[in-house]
Structure 1
Amino acid sequence: MTYPDGPVPSLPPEQEALFEGAAVTYALHRPGLPDAAVHLLADTLRGRSFPVLLDLGTGTGQVPLALLSAGTDLTHIEAVDVSPQMLRQARQALTPVLGHCTLTLVHAAADAYEPLTTLPGEPDSGPGLITCCRSYHWLNGEAVLEMADRVAAPGAAVAIMGDGSLWTHDVDWTRALRELIQRYLGAERRACAHRSYAEPRRSYEEDLAASAFNDVTEHRFPVTRTWAPQEVLGYLSTTSFAAPELFAERHEAFEDEALALLHAHAVDGALVEEAMFRVLLARRPEGAR
């Protein structure tokens, strides 16, 4: 099931369109979640009679797909995204592995999410796990956490997680790649065709400390990724800082230069990224709802 069927009221068009052309490429080239992080998330739902996941900024459904593929016994998934193209890709990925689990795809901004009806399971139970994977920096954090407090089940966990990007990763080959992007697009990191990326006003930890979910633990999972040069180009086409439309008629020239640069830095055809996947796992304090 998907709702609403029409446009999302008051949603900025550039936000909805940001990744709309990249859904298939995103599914192919965006790294997944580390197994250890998936097990951590699954543990938060253990013991619940009707485990419900609310995934905000779901994209192609990476979080629910990882949980289902790991055997997590989910009763229902609410997957929220501003891009209908991303939601269609999520449906294609999730439908074959749902089993008895039900799925609702929600075309909305995360802070505007409201359950369509009472979720499957106990009345007013709400989601036991609310996730934002590589998406929280695009969201109105304060509003999202207020919404989470309204809809989350007692004892629910909120997980804000991610691992940066090839823009923020700092080794020789990513620095050279970033400098090439800046030569084409300017020094500031781009967020879309019409604006630059703005760092969040507060840290994720500060947002959580000011919210109902202020009992926070941090979990760090080292990840080693090996990229082929052509895979990096695929990844770049899914990003807000190097999407093809930002380069307009110069995109082919950029890709030619980028590919030559990446081949020059590759060792035996491979480029290594040592990333840190970080999960902030937050709950209401003991005794709170």
Structure 2
Amino acid sequence: MNAFAGTSDYYRRFRPGIPIALAALLDQAAPTDSPRRLLDIGTGPGLVAHTLLRHFDDLIAVDADAEMLTEAEAMLRATIDTAHRLHLRHALAEDFLPPEGWQPHLVTCGRVFHWLDQPRFLDRVSEYMAPDGVVAVFSDRSLWTADSPWQQAVREVVQDFLGEQRRAGDGVFSAQGPPYEEVLRASAFSHVTSTVVPVRRQWKISQVLGYLYSTSFAAPHLFADRRDAFELAVTNALTLFAESGALTEDNAFTVLTARRPSAPEGR
């Protein structure tokens, strides 16, 4: 099941990228070998790879959704220069193998770890990761789990149209397993550091709608012929909260960086 069918264009245009402070944290955590290699798992339209591009020489971006890779190709190729190498791969994260001898120094999992068979994925990464490489798992709160009054109001509208349970495309989002830190500590990358990176955003109502259409729980096709009614309901709900047309969001990325116990800390 592709839970993100039909969302790729909205994902590229309306999903926030990672803040500069998070990019700096990942840059500091990863070893500085040359050429420095990044593997971005679940790259989507390339938001994480785009922000980290200047810190790495050689990048591979992987996604299981061909439409997302098309968006990533357009975004990343437009900004990459001859000093960098970029390869995009259509594959499941758990099945992906890099070219022989290609060892990443940083493997990023941004907003994607919950979709993976996590132990299997980490076992596979341990086969090809550089000895001192770092796995970074990070995400911010989605609109479904956020708790400000305006975000709760939007979630209620989505539930009015699609039901109380959180959707995942045409299916239902399953409950998460053990905490990510616990999963990482049980893997080869058992030395784990946790950091919180706060972020404040300003949204227009039209951007909130675009964000919703980028998600698996409010993908455009789920509304069928009720899409206009949904957009009107969201607009009416948010107008009550918008100050001068803007909605403020205080969010944070929880960042877990994990390495083998014998690996040295980043610079």
Same fold (TM over 0.5): yes
Residue number in structure 1 paired with 2:79: 97
Residue number in structure 2 paired with 1:182: 159
Deviations 1:221-255 (A, max 9, x none): 11111101111000000001111111211121111
Residue number in structure 2 paired with 1:171: 148
CA apart distance, 1:190: 0.5
Residue number in structure 2 paired with 1:114: 97
Residue number in structure 2 paired with 1:29: 14
Residue number in structure 2 paired with 1:156: 133
Residue correspondences, number: 263
- 1:215 and 2:167 matched: no
Please give the alpha-carbon distance, in whole angstroms, between the structure 1 residues aligned to 2:263 and 2:252: 33
1:43 and 1:75, CA in 2 relative to 1: closer, same or farther beyond 3 A?
same
- 1:271 and 2:253 matched: no
Q: CA RMSD in A?
A: 1.4
Residue number in structure 2 paired with 1:281: 257
Residue number in structure 1 paired with 2:69: 87
Give 5+ residue unaligned stretches, structure 1: 1-13, 120-125
CA apart distance, 1:184: 1.1
TM-score (ref. length: structure 1): 0.88
Higher relative contact order (CA 8 A, sep 6+): 2
CA apart distance, 1:287: 5.7
Please give the alpha-carbon distance, in whole angstroms, between the structure 2 residues aligned to 1:180 and 1:97: 38
C-alpha contact 2:4 2:169 (8 A) present in aligned 1: no
- Of 254, 278, 285, which aligns to 2:230? 254
Residue number in structure 1 paired with 2:180: 204
Please give the alpha-carbon distance, in whole angstroms, between the structure 2 residues aligned to 1:164 and 1:152: 28
Please give the alpha-carbon distance, in whole angstroms, between the structure 2 residues aligned to 1:89 and 1:80: 12
1:46 and 1:115, CA in 2 relative to 1: closer, same or farther beyond 3 A?
closer
Please give the alpha-carbon distance, in whole angstroms, between the structure 1 residues aligned to 2:148 and 2:157: 14
Please give the alpha-carbon distance, in whole angstroms, between the structure 2 residues aligned to 1:174 and 1:156: 37
1:153 and 1:179, CA in 2 relative to 1: closer, same or farther beyond 3 A?
same
Letter in 1 for 2:96: Y
CA apart distance, 1:192: 1.2
1:19 and 1:287, CA in 2 relative to 1: closer, same or farther beyond 3 A?
closer
1:46 and 1:152, CA in 2 relative to 1: closer, same or farther beyond 3 A?
closer
Residue number in structure 2 paired with 1:231: 207
1:229 and 1:50, CA in 2 relative to 1: closer, same or farther beyond 3 A?
same
Give 5+ residue unaligned stretches, structure 2: none
Please give the alpha-carbon distance, in whole angstroms, between the structure 1 residues aligned to 2:228 and 2:219: 12
Please give the alpha-carbon distance, in whole angstroms, between the structure 1 residues aligned to 2:215 and 2:71: 17
CA apart distance, 1:112: 0.7
Please give the alpha-carbon distance, in whole angstroms, between the structure 2 residues aligned to 1:252 and 1:144: 40
1:148 and 1:108, CA in 2 relative to 1: closer, same or farther beyond 3 A?
same
Letter in 2 for 1:203: P
The runs of 4+ residues in structure 1 deviating greater than 6 Å are none
C-alpha contact 1:58 1:79 (8 A) present in aligned 2: yes
Give identity over the alignment, percent: 41
Letter in 1 for 2:161: Y
Which secondary structure does the structure 2 equivalent of 1:21 belong to?
A: coil
Please give the alpha-carbon distance, in whole angstroms, between the structure 1 residues aligned to 2:223 and 2:100: 43
Deviations 1:102-149 (A, max 9, x none): 111110111010114433xxxxxx000000000111111111111111
Deviations 1:2-21 (A, max 9, x none): xxxxxxxxxxxx22xx3242
